[in-house]
Amino acid sequence: MANDSPQSVLDFTLEELRDWLVHQGHPAFRAAQIYQWIYQKGVSSYAEMSNLPETLRSELARQMPLDIRPVIARQEDPRDQTWKFLYQLPDGECVEAVLMPRYAGSVKTDPQTGAVRAGDSTGIEGYTVCLSTQAGCQFACRFCASGQLGYKRNLTAGEIIAQVMGFIRAGKPVSRVVFMGTGEPLHNLDAVRKTIAILHAQEGLNLSPRRVTVSTVGLVPEMYRIAKEGWKVKLALSLHATSDVKRAELMPLARAYGLDQVKDAARYYQRCNGRRISLEYLMMQGVNDSPKDAERLAKFCDGLECHVNLIPYNAIPRGPFRPSAPERIQEFKAHLLRHKIDVTVRYSRGRSIDAACGQLRLRHEQSRAG
């Protein structure tokens, strides 16, 4: 981080917190109590931790603050109950996170607006939080707002966890986490690994690895690395094109790693992990939605246990791309189904607000620039 402030308690795994307490002369069991206060009860200060000695609370407040990041902008989509928070970081950078409701049953949405059908919005069973892992992004995918302001820095594990805690303190029960916000998660691999450990701790949020998804644009060496390290989380691959030429036009990283290399890395992760891969595919009008694209995507899926998410593109201001027509998306889906491929049309949440990656931050930065 670009400052000399004390490290936040949110940056500590449970094991690290135990080690710190023992080193300071305190019982190791206090770590579980602190975790429970923070992650299960959602307190915002050490003063609220009533079963901790006052001397320990004072010491913790001095040496590892319970870092509550201010929300400097927020939006809510009344049509599907999506929330978006823009957080201020200690060095002045901003980072955003999105809260999306999970419904108890099948929910119908309007393909044009994303609005949830009347009556379906009452069965919310929990919430998914989409987390950012970097301030900005250096990969500059042409369809994404995140790269328009450039890459600033990696986030710490505590800064990533704080995004989850902002929603929990707002009374929203977070049941799933996806690393699909601003930044490339595998480009900040160490902090993401640590964040997952904190999310998984039984004394904390106690999220199963099956409820955590990590997305990547296709960083091949890192995909092999997390496979060898035995990560058990779900892996989502941002594909978005079916030829190396087109993918390189949309995603500059693709110039380094071709589709064959990406597929091999995905298969290796799958062999090590034992779970199917999600393929994320933005549907952009006249760009990647032709019958030939559908045929090439079906070929890419061959030999790979996967689920395809077709996502109508959420256009960014002044961007060159538009979403595919609903009928074209359905034709594309039907083509994949004929090849026995598991496929879903996933309509974006928060379509009446700046819910796509980087949009709220971009709008905020542009307003500050005047």
pLDDT given at position 1: 43
Is the per-residue pLDDT at 356 higher than 70?
A: no
Q: Which residues lie below 8 Å from residue 354, measured CB to CB, with a gap of 6+?
A: 75, 84, 360, 362, 363
Residue 141 CA to residue 367 CA, distance in Å, equals 23
Q: What is the pLDDT of residues 28-56, one digit of tens each?
A: 999 999 999 999 999 989 999 999 999 99
- Beta partners for residue 82, in sequence order: 77
pLDDT at 112: 53
Its pTM stands at 0.89
- pLDDT score recorded for residue 215: 96
Q: What residues does each domain of the chain span?
A: 9-63, 71-369
What H or E segment, with its residue span, contains residue 16?
Answer: helix 14-23
What is the tens place of the pLDDT at every residue in 11-30? 999 999 999 999 999 999 99
Question: How far apart are the C-alpha atoms of 242 and 341, rounded to whole Å?
Answer: 15
Rounded CA-CA distance 198/98 in Å is 19
- Mean pLDDT to the nearest integer, 270-290: 95
> What residues are labeled active site?
96, 357
CATH code of 9-63, in short, is: 1.10.150.530
Residue 118 DSSP symbol: T
pLDDT band at residue 366, thresholds of 50, 70 and 90?
Answer: very low
Q: How far is CA 281 from CA 123, 218, 223, 346, in A?
A: 28, 13, 19, 10
Was domain 71-369 assigned CATH 3.40.50.720?
no
Indicate the DSSP class of residue 220: H
131-142 pLDDT per residue, tens: 999 998 888 788
Beta bridge pairs of residue 94 = 88
Q: What does the block give as tokens for 184?
A: 């490339």
**Is the pLDDT assigned to residue 3 strictly greater than 50?**
no
